[in-house]
Structure 1
Amino acid sequence: MSGAVKRTDFVQPKEFKFSKENMKLVEAHIAKYPKGRQASAVMPLLDIAQRQHGGWIPEVAMEEIAKLLDMPRIKVFEVATFYTMYNLEPRGKHHLQFCTTTPCWLMGSADVVKACEKHLGIHMGETTEDGEFTMTEVECLGACVNAPVIQRNGDEFYEDLTPENVIPVIEALKAGRQPKIGSQTGRQTSLGVMGATCLSKQAHDTNNQVAGEPPVKKPAAKPANDPAETRPAETKPKGKKK
């Protein structure tokens, strides 16, 4: 498509240092682990570096992390190249990650992808020429009940998407506005399409009552002068043994 670029000729920066604010986060993560086990903080440090560097991790950032954690560079590279949430090349300002696995596909994710490709003028794995949008395909995002789903920049989920309601989301991002996060159909969290079918009313009496049903009527108490309450229980005379 016209207007699409796949960045393969980007230049690696020559140096990387965490900002003062991010360095405090780095130190806090490292402090969670005992001496000699600092390497366990490699994943959150990679995430911090990626956020600081505009959505991707340069090689010099991985080298800096290796120094801070006193671990071989190759070990940091192994982690960064294994997990798909770490980007090793530039991404657009809005990195749109499309789930296309079975539940989302059954609910129409392929049509959502086509609508976005047509609207943005790019294909999966490409970035718009202005550097605003990147489209990538990802595995299950764990929001199957609200399929189809798009994740933006690893944080925000846009759910219950259709080819029609996904376009306003993109247009809002283009205009610098924050789209509504979550369901785009007004659904409350993961409420079923039929609405509330149980636990739909406040129980008035929690003693032996099914929620949503009328309160269980208790039998009226008998008066204190009721003969049945005051008369001693009758006992049968014991018969003589033959």
Structure 2
Amino acid sequence: MACKNELKESCFKELDEFILSIEDKQGALISVLHKAQEIFGYLPKEIQEFVAERLDLSLAKVYGVVSFYSFFTMTPKGKHPVSVCMGTACYVRGAGKVLEDFEKQLGISAGETTVDGEFSIDALRCVGACGLAPVVLIGEDVFGKDEAKDVAGLIAKYRGQ
């Protein structure tokens, strides 16, 4: 079932079944939001309203959690989400230049997705891999040091996959 970046009825049904399977719904908001983002790829207002209604919470409470945690996103991500760590170690070792290179070569800024939906770019606070600085994540793949600086090579590796 392909739900990523689409708001299909079958995807809402899958999320609803997950919520119904939770015995103690009190305190389940974050796990439900993780599941929703796993299913849909992002958490727009419609999904936040759905979660709020199913968990008997205010929309403001759900929005507060979604907007507070950097893991959650309210905009669709690309098929290959690029995250550049901007923590101190990474920044000192050239992460700012790496981010600029991704933005220039993909023609988008951090927080945006390419028109074809292939790539999106985000700047992260810290990924906790300081020894690899600068660090780039593409999806779940981690690239550090010299690999991270080969922006053109990384883009080529994922383009069209």
Instruction: State if a TM-score over 0.5 links the two structures.
Output: yes
- Cα 1:169–1:106 change in 2 (3 A) is same
Length-normalised TM-score, structure 2:
0.79
**Residue 74 (structure 2) aligned to one of 75, 84, 88:** 88
Q: Is the 8 A contact 2:91 2:134 kept in 1?
A: yes
- Cα 1:81–1:163 change in 2 (3 A) is same
1:18 aligned partner, one-letter code:
F
- Equivalent in the alignment of 1:163: 149
Q: Distance in 1 between matches of 2:46 and 2:148?
A: 40
- Counting only pairs closer than 5 Å after superposition, residues 80-229 of structure 1 correspond to structure 2 as 80-153=66-139, 155-160=140-145, 161-164=147-150, 166-176=151-161
- Counting only pairs closer than 5 Å after superposition, residues 35-50 of structure 1 correspond to structure 2 as 38-50=25-37
Q: Distance in 2 between matches of 1:23 and 1:68?
A: 8
1:95 aligned partner, one-letter code:
P
2:154 aligned partner, one-letter code:
V
Q: Distance in 2 between matches of 1:76 and 1:16?
A: 22
Greater RCO (CA < 8 Å, at least 6 residues apart): 2
**Residue 54 (structure 2) aligned to one of 68, 83, 100:** 68
RMSD: 2.6
Q: Is the 8 A contact 1:15 1:60 kept in 2?
A: no
Segments of structure 2 that go 5 or more residues without pairing to the other structure are: 1-5
Q: Distance in 2 between matches of 1:39 and 1:77?
A: 17
**1:191-222 Cα distance to aligned partner (Å, 9 max, x none):** xxxxxxxxxxxxxxxxxxxxxxxxxxxxxxxx
The structure with the largest helix share of the pair is: 2
Count the aligned residue pairs: 155
- Cα 1:61–1:148 change in 2 (3 A) is same
Q: Percent identity?
A: 32
- Equivalent in the alignment of 1:78: 64
